[in-house]
Structure 1
Amino acid sequence: MPLVRQRRHLNLRLPEPSVPKPLPLPPSSTAIAPADLEKLQVLGHGNGGTVYKVRHKRTGAVYALKVVHGDTDGASRQEVRREMEILQRTESPHVVEYHGFFEKPSGDVAILMEYMEVGTLETLLKSSGTFSEPQVASVAREVLSGLSYLHAHKIIHRDIKPSNLLVNRKMEVKIGDFGVSKVMCRTLDACNSYVGTCAYMSPERFDPDSYGGNYNGYASDIWSLGLTLFELYVGHFPFLPMGQSPDWPTLMCAICFGDPPTLPQTASQHFRSFISSCLIKDSTQRWTASQLLSHPFLATT
């Protein structure tokens, strides 16, 4: 499968401090204005908005521009603002880069971001087929490095899934779409609201009392990543048979009352152990991003 060129990154093993410091905001001004950009093509639609491939008229630089129009519901526009607030606080090679935010008198809001040429892991899975273990390990290293950075700065993504992990022409995988993310303002903040895609939600998001949901919200990102990596390997969402569409009651029962999915016996022992470490139902026992970066699966593949 012509997917991920194997690249070995220096493992990022950031500590996860009990009281991490938030990142400062950068200057609010931007050197790029809406009039500087020309639209080249539509990249996609969703959540009341459109994502365009755009080019800077003077420099020729190419970006992705996510636009939500003023006549769209307020929740969609608020998600774009939330994404801007998150991205402008981050500076990591494993997170999609932020380049500006625009708001027009008409009510349109737009966020200018790094253009990821290949698309998402979801589109790559559909076009190129399932991932090998080394390819899954390469994705895991990069996403975990991004999550380790975000969690160390009190940011919970809350919607990790194949369609929110983007790939550029260097085959680098970066975390994107922070519309439902949360910045933890205090160490004991809860993060149990029903946001994000329900299929990838962790048990504690459905039932915080039973699965340690008041411990912290960071563990929910690890569960979602485990399901994502599982899906890349087997080719379908792990809680459902191939071709079956998820529905809320079925998913909630499977996630809360069923056993976590396990990889087929053809998978290596290290890979199966890695996925199991992501899919521990008790969030207080689930491995952290920094711990998973030291797992033998990533050291041996």
Structure 2
Amino acid sequence: INLLRKLNHENIVKYRDTIKTQGYLYIVLEYMENGSLAQFMKKFGSLSETLVAMYITQVLRGLAYLHEQGVLHRDVKGANILTTKDGLVKLADFGVAIKLNETQKANSVVGSPYWMAPEVIEMAGWSSSSDIWSVGCTIIELLTTKPPYFDLAPMAALFRIVQEDHPPLPQRMSPVCKQKCSENDPQY
């Protein structure tokens, strides 16, 4: 809560309040009327590459801000990207996010298996690049409604993520999008 309270960016969901009741703690966030991209896909199916590009550009702006603040999200996926009726998207769910100092490394294996970067699975630690890997997996999710390796059990998927250079890319993905998703050292 303390971390979320300090964040202020148009592509990060805003913290509003905390309500404590007998045995419960409620976190009040800004209202995002269209829900998550995962919910949107359940209703309407996969997104066009143009729409994905528009949304992911905003996600990357939010991530760039987080990384500048020394914060790693560690669970980027469609379910954690909220939308408004005007097409604005915001990163949400900072339950496993962490703020690092310059010498600290996040070595815990947290997040969602199908979106997890190889270095995290191998326990080499989280970095901003790990969040970017998750963005690439989210692009695949938004284009197909499923993350990479969704047809495998979570442990089998983790093994494949480590063994392969990159996840399999959807057939319908344009050559430019395939090239961008296959870059080894992506830039914002």
Cα offset, 1:248, TM superposition: 3.1
Matched residue SS, 2:59: helix
Query: CA-to-partner distance for each residue in 1:233-292, whole Å, 9 max, x for gaps?
Result: 12322223xxx3x52320121111123124345432221122113xx4xxxxx32xxx23
Residue 116 of structure 2: aligned partner: 201
Structure 2 partner of 1:3: none
Aligned residue identity for 2:141: E
CA root-mean-square deviation: 1.6
Higher-Rg member (1/2)? 1
Distance 1:154 1:85 in 2: 14
Match of 1:89 in 2: 6
Q: Does 1:109 align with 2:19?
A: no
TM normalised by structure 1 equals 0.59
Once residues 149 and 163 of structure 1 are traced to their aligned partners in structure 2, the CA distance between those partners, rounded to angstroms, is: 20
3-state SS of the aligned residue for 1:231? helix
Local SS of the residue matching 1:171: coil
Tell me, yes or no, if the aligned pair for 1:120 and 1:163 is still in contact at 8 Å.
yes
Aligned CA distance change for structure 1 residues 200 and 138 (closer, same or farther; 3 Å):
same
Among 106, 111, 114, which residue is 1:191 paired with?
106
Q: What is the rounded CA distance, in whole Å, between the counterparts of 1:114 and 1:265 in structure 2? A: 37
Q: CA deviation at 1:85?
A: 1.5
1:74-117 CA-to-partner distances (Å, cap 9, x unmatched) read xxxxxxxxxx222111110000111111223x231111111111
**Residue 222 (structure 1) aligned with residue 132 (structure 2):** yes
CA distance in 2, matches of 1:273, 1:226: 11
Structure 2 Cα separation of the partners of residues 124 and 248 of structure 1 = 24
Question: Are 1:200 and 1:224, in contact at CA under 8 Å, matched by a contact in 2?
Answer: yes
Q: Deviations over 1:127-161 (max 9, x none)?
A: 11111111110011100000000000001000111
1:251 aligns to 2:166 (yes or no)? no
TM-superposed deviation, 1:119: 0.8
Mapped contact 2:116–2:130 kept (Cα < 8 A): yes
Kindly indicate whether the alpha-carbon contact (under 8 Å) linking 1:117 and 1:167 is maintained by their aligned counterparts in 2.
yes
Aligned pair count reads 188
TM-score normalized by the length of structure 2? 0.92
Contact 1:159 1:197 in 2 (8 A): yes
The one-letter code matched in structure 2 to 1:256 is V
Is this contact kept in 1: 2:116–2:133, CA < 8 A? yes
Separation in structure 1 between the aligned mates of residue 119 and residue 2 of structure 2, nearest angstrom? 26
User: Separation in 1 of the partners of 2:117 and 2:173?
Assistant: 23
Give the 5 Å matches for 1:1-301: 84-104=1-21, 106-184=22-100, 186-208=101-123, 213=124, 217-240=127-150, 244=151, 246-277=152-183, 280=184, 286-287=185-186, 291-292=187-188
Q: Is the 8 A contact 1:165 1:176 kept in 2?
A: yes
Cα displacement (A) at 1:169: 1.6
Q: Of Structure 1 and Structure 2, which has the larger fraction of its residues in helix?
A: 2
Name the aligned partner's letter for residue 10 of structure 2. P
Task: Judge conservation of contact 1:94–1:145 (CA < 8 Å) in 2.
Answer: yes
SS of residue matched to 2:17:
strand
Q: Which amino acid aligns with 1:147?
A: L
**% identity of equivalent residues:** 33
